[in-house]
Structure 1
């Protein structure tokens, strides 16, 4: 066998333009605002659920009632922490993006492509393929 067909990763990079920077910053702002709303809604929902699950006799709750309230609090706590972490990460990405200069190359993801590999081919060249995009147009393919 002298050749084989392989799927190899291709790194997709974008050249940062004002248009792209504005879009990314807008998307991050929207994600942060959406997360803030979700946090507010969760607080309201948690209060409602806690009220609905109050013990029949608040002075002497049963163990089952206590466990149910603790489970509710734990659930909302986990969900709140997920959103707080997402908000922090989004805020950090926003700050990072604000500092980036126009013309910088940023990784946008990876795709796969099929390549025919022959005996004697340089595997490093085959594996290190990049596509550079500027304003949705491919401007370079590098290996």
Structure 2
């Protein structure tokens, strides 16, 4: 066997433009709005469960429910903090900066003697949803 077909990662980067920055900031704002709404709903749920628990016994199920609500609330708080930090970071990037958008896979035929690093280090550069470069 002289060759084998393998899947290798392809890094997708986007060149930062005002259009991309605005799109990313809008998506972040929408995510923050959803998280804030969910935080309010979780607060209401927690108050309701606490009131029910005060009126009767504090059952193990009620304790578990309260803990679950608190964990969910903490996840939303963490998301809000991380997203705000990403917003600040995005504002600092200069136009034209390359931002990693994700990773795809591609199928390649690897042969004896091929440079594995060269097969693995491929990236696609996108600007305003158009591929502008494929680099290795």
| Class of the TM-score when normalised by the shorter of the 2 chains | over 0.9
Number of aligned residue pairs: 136
In the TM superposition, residue 138 of structure 1 has moved relative to its aligned partner by 0.6
Q: Which runs of 5+ in 2 are unaligned?
A: none
Q: Provide the alpha-carbon RMSD of the alignment.
A: 1.4
Q: Which runs of 5+ in 1 are unaligned?
A: none
In the TM superposition, residue 142 of structure 1 has moved relative to its aligned partner by 0.5
In the TM superposition, residue 66 of structure 1 has moved relative to its aligned partner by 4.8
Quote the Cα distance in structure 2 between the aligned partners of 1:79 and 1:49.
Answer: 15
Quote the Cα distance in structure 2 between the aligned partners of 1:36 and 1:91.
Answer: 12
CA displacement 1:40-92 (0-9 Å, x = unmatched): 11111222233334444xxxx4xxx3534432321211111110011111111
Match of 2:45 in 1: 45
**Does 2:78 match 1:85?**
yes
CA displacement 1:78-137 (0-9 Å, x = unmatched): 111110011111111111101111100000000000001111111111000000011111
Partner residue of 2:111 out of 101, 118, 122: 118
Would the aligned equivalents of 2:13 and 2:101 in 1 still touch at CA under 8 Å? yes
Quote the Cα distance in structure 1 between the aligned partners of 2:59 and 2:109.
Answer: 64
Would the aligned equivalents of 2:49 and 2:62 in 1 still touch at CA under 8 Å? no
Partner residue of 1:96 out of 86, 89, 99: 89
Match of 2:5 in 1: 5
Quote the Cα distance in structure 1 between the aligned partners of 2:114 and 2:101.
Answer: 28
Match of 1:130 in 2: 123
In the TM superposition, residue 31 of structure 1 has moved relative to its aligned partner by 0.9
Runs of 4+ more than 6 Å apart = none
TM-score by length of 1: 0.88
